[in-house]
Chain A
Amino acid sequence: MILSVRRNLSGLAVQIMNKMETGAPAARFPEWLRIALVGRNPKRTLIRAAVLAVLCYCFFKLFVFKFIVLPVRVEGNSMFPTYHDRGINFVNRLAYRHADPQRGDVVGIRMAGPSVMLMKRIVGLPGETIAFEDGRLLVNGKAIDEPYLQHHSPAPPLDPVTLRPNEYYVIGDNRMNSDRGRIDRGRIIGKIAL
């Protein structure tokens, strides 16, 4: 059954190609539409399209998805409910090229390289003293509002930690179920795009 369908389809393709090669107009399509779709010379159009497809693939695979945005899959629930387990997202590598990370930014943090990253939210900036008391974030001893939290999950207590000039403090939004800590600026790969 499958074979016969294939044979019929290939027969149809041959007929169309023959018509195109002989210059006979296709019965169903007007000439202008045929030219718009496959060009005056279908063989050349096909080659051009194939070359273009390969170039686009290489451009995205070797450049865009390596140096501009990294496509990622989220594993785990430490950023729940802001980001869900198994969600697809992108890390914008250019976000911090001319600007520093800000409080509230969700960032991708590299381990040994960019193949596996941690996804956390920045809550402490360089030079600040960070603490968690009664589940609330204290920056330089003052409780601050965190509008980015969709659901307030109290964080385990943390004694005041003063960050060095190139350090940030990060934690997941699901604070009872998230690792947290200081990270160097160099570990931040980029900002979560979506």
Chain B
Amino acid sequence: MKRAVQVLVLAALVIFGCWLWTVMFPSPEAVVRNRLNALAKTLSFKSGSGMISQAFRAQKAAEFFTTDAEIEVNVAGYDPVTMHGRDEVQQAAIMARSRLTSLKIEFPDMNITIDPGGQTAKVNLTGKADIPGERDISAQEFNFLLKKVDGQWLIYRVETVKTLSDMNVPGGGAASGLLMPRMSGRMPDALYRRT
């Protein structure tokens, strides 16, 4: 019995040591993942947040991007959006906060590829947005390109990925607005894992 306890304690110590190692010296993939999760958290907001807090968080969100960042978002049911640079990102974040009462953004799946030099990263991810007033959750696939600037991973390009080749066909999908309210950017028949 005593021996078993010793083995268990040793195993626990080894697991703790491994965990501590990954926390102290994270891999570039883990750093990028944490960075994008932090971006999702910064872009999300709850109702009742003050003007100063909103402006601060919008500025903080812009700091995740390079000064010459290019963002092209074309989500079903919404007008295509193109942004250049941090200022436009910040303006868009402020505008979103003024139009919506709350927003929850998550990136549940991330496929991260770091280039051999370790200076740029390509991330294919699913963006999930829970928008108030919309019955369903919006989901869209994106490609993010990041580069290391002064030791920090910054986003310099965001582009929408069309999961289906003919999304937004005339008269079809969310673009038709037949059964959905305007600006309902939901992905029809998205299946969400029950986690």
Contacts and interface: CB of A to CB of B under 8 A. Distances in A.
B164 interface: yes
Interface stretch (B58-66, B90-98, B108-116): B108-116
B88 interface: no
B189 A77 contact: yes
Nearest to A83: B189
B172 A180 contact: yes
B176 interface: yes
B108 A78 contact: no
B111 A113 contact: yes
Contacts of B188: 76-78, 172, 174, 177-179
A118 B126 contact: no
A91 B163 CA distance: 18
A115 interface: yes
A119 B109 contact: no
Interface in B155-188: 161-174, 176, 178-180, 186-188
B4 to A, nearest CB: 14
A85 B187 CA distance: 12
B179 to A, nearest CB: 5
A181 B193 CA distance: 23
A131 interface: no
A176 B178 contact: yes
A170 interface: yes
Contacts of A111: 109, 126, 139-141, 161, 163
Nearest to B106: A115
B193 A116 contact: yes
B141 A76 contact: no
Given A75-B136, A77-B179, A179 B172 contact: yes
Interface string A112-152: 11111111100000000000000000000000000000000
A76 B168 contact: no
Contacts of A78: 173, 188-189
Contacts of A118: 163-164, 187, 189-191
Given A77-B179, A181-B164, A115 B192 contact: yes
Given A115-B193, A119-B191, A176-B172, A182 B179 contact: no
B194 interface: yes
Interface string A49-86: 00000000000000000000011111111110001010
Given A111-B163, A181-B167, A72 B126 contact: no
B190 A119 contact: yes
Nearest to A77: B179
Interface string A84-99: 0100110100000000
**Residue from the set A76, A78, A156, A174 with the largest chain B CB neighbour count within 10 Å:** A76
A82 to B, nearest CB: 10
A116 B189 contact: no
A94 B108 CA distance: 23
A166 B190 CA distance: 23
A187 B178 CA distance: 28
A112 B165 contact: no
Interface of B: 76, 108-111, 124-126, 128, 136-137, 139-142, 161-174, 176, 178-180, 186-195
7 contacts: A74-B189, A77-B188, A78-B173, A116-B126, A118-B164, A174-B188, A181-B169
Top 5 closest A-B pairs, CB basis?
A113-B109, A181-B164, A78-B188, A181-B166, A115-B108
Interface of A: 70-79, 83, 85, 88-89, 91, 108-109, 111-120, 155-156, 158, 161, 170, 172, 174-183, 187
